[in-house]
Amino acid sequence: MRRRTFVRAAVAACSLSLLAAFAPAASASAEAGGQHSPSYKRVGYFTQWGVYGRDFQVKDMDTSGQAAKLTHINYAFGNVSSDGKCFTGNVPGEADAWADYARPLDAENSVDGVADTAEQPLAGNFNQLHELKAKHPGLKVLISLGGWSWSTHFSDAARTPASRKALVASCIDLYIKGNLPLDGARGGAGAAAGLFDGVDLDWEWPGSAGDTDTVFRPEDKQNFTALVREFRTQLDAYGRSLGKRKHYDLTAFVPTAPEKIDAGFEVRKIMRDLDFVNLQGYDFHVSGEKTTAQQSALYARGDFSVDQTVRDWLRRGAPARKLVMGMPFYGQGWTGVTGGGDGLNQPATAPAPATWAAGYEDYKALKKLADSGTYTVHRDRRGGHAWLFDGTTLWTYDDPQVLRTKTSYIRERGLGGAMFWSLDGDTADGELMTAVDRGLSRSY
């Protein structure tokens, strides 16, 4: 999963060197015609930093219609310190308590239409997520720990029984119990209590290379299993202590590359404790490579694909109902493409210019390119992917037609649902979210 650099180097490195019946959980999804019947999981990542330059606020998940169609929001990300604890604060590049719970929102940007006051202990994204849950009963919010840039200290924190207990206890205290550090009038004991409904583990990657400063060891594989067990144990114990036997969800983001799966995951064991896993369904190829390629194909002979990822996890013992397919709400792009034809699998000189980071562009911007008439939309209907090409620049991405094919695959194979990175890439009216929701609801 990404942070501000928008670089999936783990898979770039991997790319370059890289039915049990499902009784789905109830959905919080609702359309104009009424409440959906029990349906598949729809998991969307909300990025902490997106409230700044992108100006994607929690309220936008409501006004776009996304919140009504989601079952889970994963808040990206929480960090783990060098001493192996979950923490927050205002530390550039490491934590942003201002965005999380200190930043006041005015009435216009608040879900409930009421401006934050100077005295309230919870503001920022956390308070807005509270308001969003109140408006959409049944919607769950999970704290997602790690991501590409913040998996640095997972290996150290998971090394011993004592360190695992300390890590998990700190995460539960901070996020589940909601005991936030004081930041002026904000925070304090229980300030965020009741906000988070579970934990999503985004350790990238146990047992194999991730970001340049991320530690990894061979024993991470067994230690990840033990860490998952420790989270399950402590979450269950805290749920029982509330007297209502509340169940806290425990999920993980997991890779596509077989060597990364085998290096870091005891699949059968972790699946006993995880409610589901979010499969990496994108960044199979990235714009840092020298040749254009698909980044999220459903099928691809002799290459990474969604189908290959699903089959690899099934073969290693994962139940189909616990596999949630990752889908990109963005594209990977190259420029300086030569070789003619439709541009795919051709040499390129550099990542394509883009709004936020070269080689990475939101779907909403790519939709405008597709509608501009300067790009041609190409499709591999058998492979289940699409790309744009103007003779020089190529973008590979998922549009509603691709997502319709992918949702059919989810239904046919009894998978657990769909996950999206990230919600801020969608259009203002939630075009991609709607396409997935309708596809999973058999509304097409």
For residue 385, being part of any structural domain is answered with no
* pLDDT score of 170: 99
Q: Is the pLDDT of residue 386 over 60?
A: yes
Spatial CB neighbours of 39, under 8 Å, sequence gap ≥ 6: 24, 26, 27, 29, 71, 417, 440, 441
Establish if 368 belongs to a structural domain.
Answer: no
> Is 387 a domain residue?
no
Work out the pLDDT band at 39, boundaries 50, 70, 90: confident
Q: What is the mean pLDDT of residues 351-371?
A: 98
**Tokens linked to 368:** 């405008």
> What is the b/e burial string over 406-435, where b = at least 16 CB atoms within 10 angstroms of the residue's CB?
bbbbbeebbbbbbbbbbbbbbbeebbbbbb
Residue 127 has pLDDT above 50, yes or no: yes
Instruction: Look up 204 and say whether it is catalytic.
Output: yes
Over residues 190-213, mean pLDDT = 98
Read off the pLDDT of each residue in 338-360 and give the average, rounded to a whole number. Answer: 97
- Domain of residue 108, CATH code: 3.20.20.80
The structural domain count of the chain equals 1
Three-state DSSP class for residue 377: strand
pLDDT tens-digit series, residues 111-120? 999 999 999 9
pLDDT band at 225 (very low <50, low <70, confident <90, very high): very high
What's the rounded Cα separation, in Å, for the pair 61 and 349? 37
Residue 442: pLDDT band with limits 50, 70, 90:
confident
Residue 379 falls within a domain, yes or no? no
Task: Determine the pLDDT at residue 36.
Answer: 38
Domain range for 54 is 9-329+398-440
Average pLDDT over residues 386-398: 98
Q: By CB neighbour count within 10 A (0-12 exposed, 13-18 middle, 19+ buried), where does 188 fall?
A: middle
Distance of CA 224 to the CA centre of its chain: 19
pTM of the model: 0.92
pLDDT at 244: 79
On whether residue 346 sits in a domain, the answer given is: no
Confidence of residue 9 (pLDDT cuts 50, 70, 90): very low
Residue 293 in this model has a pLDDT that exceeds 60: yes
Mean pLDDT of 14-18: 38
Residues 228-241 have a mean pLDDT of 97
| Neighbour-count burial of 161, counting CB atoms closer than 10 A to its CB (0-12 exposed, 13-18 middle, 19+ buried) | exposed
pLDDT score for 291: 98
Which residue is associated with the tokens 């883009």?
354
- Of the residues 204, 230, 361, 431, only one is catalytic, namely 204
The tokens for 403 are 């997502």
Average pLDDT, the chain: 92
Would residue 325 count as lying in a domain? yes
Residue 121 is assigned to a structural domain of this protein = yes
Band of pLDDT at residue 245, cut at 50, 70 and 90: confident
The answer to whether residue 153 is domain-embedded is yes
